[in-house]
Amino acid sequence: ELKVEQNPLFLSMQEGKNYTIYCNYSTTSDRLYWYRQDPGKSLESLFVLLSNGAVKQEGRLMASLDTKARLSTLHITAAVHDLSATYFCAVDLGLNTGNQFYFGTGTSLTVIP
Amino acid sequence: DSGVTQTPKHLITATGQRVTLRCSPRSGDLSVYWYQQSLDQGLQFLIQYYNGEERAKGNILERFSAQQFPDLHSELNLSSLELGDSALYFCASTLGVMNTEAFFGQGTRLTVV
C-alpha cells in the first residue's frame, strides 16, 4: 500500500522566516498534489505537479517534485500569519487505481507575529 | 467556493442508527470521490464513482455503501453507526477518470453519540 509521509507534523514559525515542508511517498508516481485546509473547513487545491522536476509557485509558496527521490517539497518564503493552516500532500497512482488520493499526515503550520 | 455541494453540514445521531450524506459534484464533473477525515486515521479514501459506476474502493467498511445517480449526485450511506464513525466526510469531484485536480466540498461533520 502506498505510504505518504510528511514532516514536520507541526511547524511554528515567525513571520518573515522561510521554511520547507517535506512529503515522501513509497511507490513510484509522478502525480502529486498540495492542499491547504483551514480548521473545520474544506481542502483547497494549491498545486498540481505532474512530472519529474515540476516546480510551481504561487505567492509565498513554491512546490517541487522529484519523482526519482519520491519527494515533494513545499517551500514557504517570508511567512505571514495568513499562511497558518494545515497543509496536505497527496499522491495518486493513476488510472488503474481510480485516481484516488493517498494523503499525507498533514503539516499544521502556525505563523507567529 | 469549489462548486461541490454537500449536505447536511452537520449531523448528530445515536449509535446504531443509519444516515445518508449527499454530494452534488461540480457542473460537468463525472467522478465523485468520498473521503473520511478523523483525528486518528487522517484523510482516507472510501470509494469512487464515475458516471454512475463504482470505479475504485478504498478502506470502506461493509456497513457503509454509496451510489451515484443518473443526475451524477452521490449519496454515502452509513449504517449501524458506532462512536468511531464520528468524522468529517468529504466529497470531491473531477471532470473525468483521469483527473488532474480534485475539488472538495465543505464536508459533513458526523457526530455519533
| pLDDT digits 0-9 by tens, B11-26 | 999 999 999 999 999 9
Instruction: For A79-107, write each residue's pLDDT tens digit.
Output: 999 999 999 999 987 766 667 789 999 99
Residue pair B102/B32 in contact by the 8 Å Cβ criterion: no
- Give the residue from A58, A86, A99 with the most B CB atoms within 10 Å of its CB, the best one to mutate: A99
A87 at the B interface (CB within 8 A)?
A: no
Instruction: For A56-76, write each residue's pLDDT tens digit.
Output: 999 999 999 999 999 999 999
| Average pLDDT of the segment spanning A39-44 | 91
- Closest listed residue to residue B108, CA positions, set B22, B25, B40, B39: B22
pLDDT at B43: 93
A47 at the B interface (CB within 8 A)?
A: no
The number of residues in chain B equals: 113
Residue pair A84/A110 in contact by the 8 Å Cβ criterion: yes
Tell me the one-letter amino acid at A53.
G
Quote the percentage of chain B above a pLDDT of 90: 83
Instruction: For B79-94, write each residue's pLDDT tens digit.
Output: 999 999 999 999 999 8
- Closest listed residue to residue B38, CA positions, set B91, B104, B111: B111
Residue B73 has a CB neighbour count (10 Å cut-off) of 15
Residue at grid coordinates 445521531: B13
Residues in A closer than 8 angstroms to B107, CB to CB, are: 41-42
Q: Are B102 and A33 in contact (CB < 8 Å)?
A: yes
